[in-house]
Amino acid sequence: MSAIVSGKRSFFEELSSTPPASKRIRCSSRFTSSFSPSSSPPSPPSFLIDQLISIFPHMDKQVLERALEECGDDLDSAIRSLNELCLGSADRNAAAADKTGVELEGNVQIQTQGITANGDVPTKEQTSPEGFSMDGSDWVELFVREMLNASNIDDARARASRALEVFDKSIQARAGAEVAQNYHQENMMLKEQLETLIQENTILKRAVAVQHERQKEYENQSQELQHLKQVISQYQEQLRTLEVWLHSPEAYMHTMLLNYQLECWLRMC
């Protein structure tokens, strides 16, 4: 804070010693002609200085005294000159603050860029060293540098406001990049799980197809087995019928007849 105050005083001292040509305090010739270059001007009355201090409390007392001296102790002329000086300083401060804000926003946008041109979210290794290189100490140095470069209290406030705005934007950009990174990682995990489920589903479909083929083969074999059982049952029935017929008298007579015919045929041969 002392650095800020010293910077402000040095600015006003320099301003009081060598004011810019465009913002020199202009007074009427009737007051300037009354003073000779060789003689030092008398100090202005204290009540005039007090009135100027009440009107311009943020300005240095030496600046007010010099303005009053150059205007020949004319309070109205001094007030007009000081107003012009304040307006010019405010314009320069606003321009400097705007330039500083644009530079800060450009640097933060470059540093906090979390999305690549093709829409993909970069990995943590790509974003950590480049995108978010400004840590707490860097922001502290930035604020201190802005305060040291401030010309007065209004300029310091404008620079602080601009720096805080850029800091807030960088936090939002970093949070958005982290959310996008987490979303990308979650999306990748879901894709991997989906691919695993698709592979398992394919394997399950193949297993179901194999089981279906086996079921069809089993059904065909069962039908064939039933058919064979029916054929065997028929053969068994025929065998039992033949056995019964062989044990009957008709079967015995038929056998004797066959034997007689066979013997006759052998005799004839």
To the nearest 10°, report the CA torsion of 179, 185, 188, 190: -80
Residue pair 158/101 in contact (Cβ under 8 Å)? The answer is: no
Residue type for 103, please?
E
What is the structure's pLDDT at 138? 81
**Residue pair 86/150 in contact by the 8 Å Cβ criterion:** no
What is the DSSP secondary-structure string of 59-84? S-HHHHHHHHHHTTT-HHHHHHHHHH
pLDDT of residue 211: 94
Residue that has been written with the tokens 């039992």 in this structure: 240
Radius of gyration of the chain (CA): 56
With beta carbons less than 8 A apart as the criterion, state whether 124 and 143 touch. Answer: no
Quote the pTM value: 0.33
Give dist(CA 228, CA 230) in Å, integer: 5
Q: What is the pLDDT of residue 226?
A: 92
pLDDT (0 to 100) of residue 193: 94
pLDDT truncated to tens, each residue of the chain (269 aa)? 443 334 434 434 434 443 443 334 444 333 333 333 334 455 667 777 887 787 777 778 788 888 878 888 787 777 877 777 766 665 555 555 555 555 555 554 544 444 333 444 444 434 343 334 567 788 888 888 888 888 888 888 888 888 888 888 888 888 888 888 899 999 999 999 999 999 999 999 999 999 999 999 999 999 999 999 999 999 988 888 877 777 777 767 777 777 777 878 887 76
Cβ proximity of 88 and 22 under 8 Å: yes
